[in-house]
Amino acid sequence: MKLKTYILALAALLLLSNCEKDDVCVDNDSVYVNIVFYSAEDSSTAKSVSGFSLLNDNGDIIQNYDNTTVAAIALVLPTSETSYNLIFRKRTEVDGISTDTNDTLKFNYTPKATYVSRACGYIRSYSDLNIDLTKHWISEVIVNTSEVNSNNEEHVVILH
């Protein structure tokens, strides 16, 4: 009878030692590419953009900021690709006539997935970020950091 008790206690101890503690994944969030807008005349002055939309390659609207003013946006780039095209559309109105001007930004990057734990899974980040641009309403794109591993930075600056 004592042997059964010892075996059961040993089995319970082994089972409990294999359990992972519950993980709370507050600090291990995946990152976004933070894009901020600044004035082309004075690159130290923030300049919001109005009448703005993000479109995919097919011309479908991904995000519409048409009725608001935008100072910054946060993008999630696909981790299954190494480049991603986005069309930045700006709508201007002069004498009641609306005109759309598009710039295509091609985001080139290396996606990274870092394993955190079984409960938290993977977190997403990007390295080697660079951007190609067609220049219409956007004057310049500056990549502040090519290693995107924190949400607390301005990764990309758009001058317009």
Confidence tier at 15 by pLDDT (50, 70, 90):
low
More confident residue, 94 or 127: 127
Q: Chain-wide mean pLDDT for the chain?
A: 87
CA 36 to chain CA mean position, Å = 12
Q: For 107, what's the count of Cα atoms within 13 Å in the CB-facing half-sphere? A: 29
- Using CA atoms, how far residue 4 sits from 8, 12, 15, 158, in Å, is 6, 12, 16, 71
pLDDT of residue 87: 97
In what side-by-side order are the strands of the sheet with 140-143? Answer: 72-75, 33-38, 156-159, 140-143
pLDDT of residue 9: 55
Global pTM? Answer: 0.80
Confidence tier at 26 by pLDDT (50, 70, 90):
low
